[in-house]
């Protein structure tokens, strides 16, 4: 690391125009999460802290700053769906990021169609080419290194059903670039996608 690098301790602030943390850990897949409350109210919201965490069983998760409807619903019902955000769906996804009352249906707000899940009782975004139906496995309030609770909750779920559009499959292999997945980057509104031109292959070295 060069001696002229910008160093800071997060507790003291970053001294930059915008917090670089979310730009450094980027781009990140978007957790477009659909849930349903006990009363039957449907919620759809995007989360920029989202990823896959385990192969067997398949576990994915999203992190929410604040105990929001998605967390509450996923904990109470024990279910949620992840919906892939593609470039054509980016504007609709952005509309679902609005702060609205719990009884407001973000599907209607963004003019999206509800699809009927096969394993769980939560609708998914029918326009999304890939959907994962999940059973909530853990809801964890995050803590600092000192053991202090933060106002952020990590929701983990086991994938119990996967929907993949035939257009996403090429000779039996999922084609990431063709789907143009939208990923969150840093800045106030920076996003990225991927293309075939950006792809390179790097095989894991074999043991001697």
Tell me the residue length of the chain: 208
Give yes or no for residue 22 having a pLDDT over 90. Answer: no
In this structure, whether the domain defined by 18-195 belongs to CATH 2.30.110.10 is answered with yes
Q: Which residues pair with 192 in a beta bridge?
A: 183
Residue 164, phi then psi, degrees to nearest 5: -130, 125
Assess contact for 77 and 123: CB atoms under 8 A.
no
Q: What is the predicted pLDDT for the residue at 103?
A: 87
Q: What is the predicted pLDDT for the residue at 37?
A: 96
Q: What is the predicted pLDDT for the residue at 187?
A: 79
pLDDT digits (tens, 9 = 90+) for 45-100: 999 999 999 999 999 999 999 999 999 999 999 999 999 999 999 999 999 999 99
Peptide bond into 178 cis (omega under 30): no
Strand order in the sheet with 191-192: 28-29, 183-184, 191-192
Q: How far is CA 61 from the centre of its chain?
A: 7
Strands 59-65 and 79-83: unpaired
Question: For residues 137 and 133, what is the distance between their CA atoms, to the nearest angstrom?
Answer: 13
Cα angle 64-136-116, degrees, rounded to a multiple of 5: 100
| Section 182-201 average pLDDT | 90
| Section 150-161 average pLDDT | 98
pTM over 0.85: yes
pLDDT digits (tens, 9 = 90+) for 105-139: 999 999 999 999 999 999 999 999 999 999 999 99
Q: Where are the domains of the chain?
A: 18-195
Task: Give residue 176's pLDDT band: very low, low, confident or very high (50, 70, 90).
Answer: very high
Question: For residues 107 and 70, what is the distance between their CA atoms, to the nearest angstrom?
Answer: 14
Give yes or no for residue 33 having a pLDDT over 90. Answer: yes
| Section 29-36 average pLDDT | 97
Give yes or no for residue 1 having a pLDDT over 70. Answer: no
Assess contact for 63 and 84: CB atoms under 8 A.
no
Question: For residues 134 and 61, what is the distance between their CA atoms, to the nearest angstrom?
Answer: 10
Residue 101 is given by DSSP the state: -
């Amino acid at each position: 690391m060069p001696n002229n690098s910008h160093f800071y301790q997060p507790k003291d602030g970053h001294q930059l125009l915008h917090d670089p943390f979310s730009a450094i850990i980027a781009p990140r897949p978007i957790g477009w999460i659909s849930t349903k409350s006990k009363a039957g109210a449907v919620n759809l919201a995007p989360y920029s802290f989202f990823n896959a965490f385990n192969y067997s069983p398949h576990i994915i998760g999203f992190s929410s700053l604040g105990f929001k409807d998605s967390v509450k619903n996923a904990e109470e019902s024990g279910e949620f769906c992840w919906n892939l955000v593609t470039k054509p769906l980016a504007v609709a996804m952005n509309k679902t990021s609005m702060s609205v009352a719990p009884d407001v249906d973000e599907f209607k707000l963004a003019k999206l169609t509800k699809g009927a899940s096969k394993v769980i009782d939560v609708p998914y975004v029918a326009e999304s080419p890939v959907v994962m139906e999940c059973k909530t496995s853990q809801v964890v309030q995050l803590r600092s290194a000192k053991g202090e609770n933060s106002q952020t909750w990590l929701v983990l779920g086991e994938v119990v059903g996967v929907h993949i559009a035939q257009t996403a499959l090429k000779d039996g292999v999922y084609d990431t670039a063709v789907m143009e997945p939208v990923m969150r980057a840093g800045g106030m509104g920076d996003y990225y996608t991927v293309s075939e031109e950006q792809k390179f292959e790097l095989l894991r070295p074999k043991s001697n």
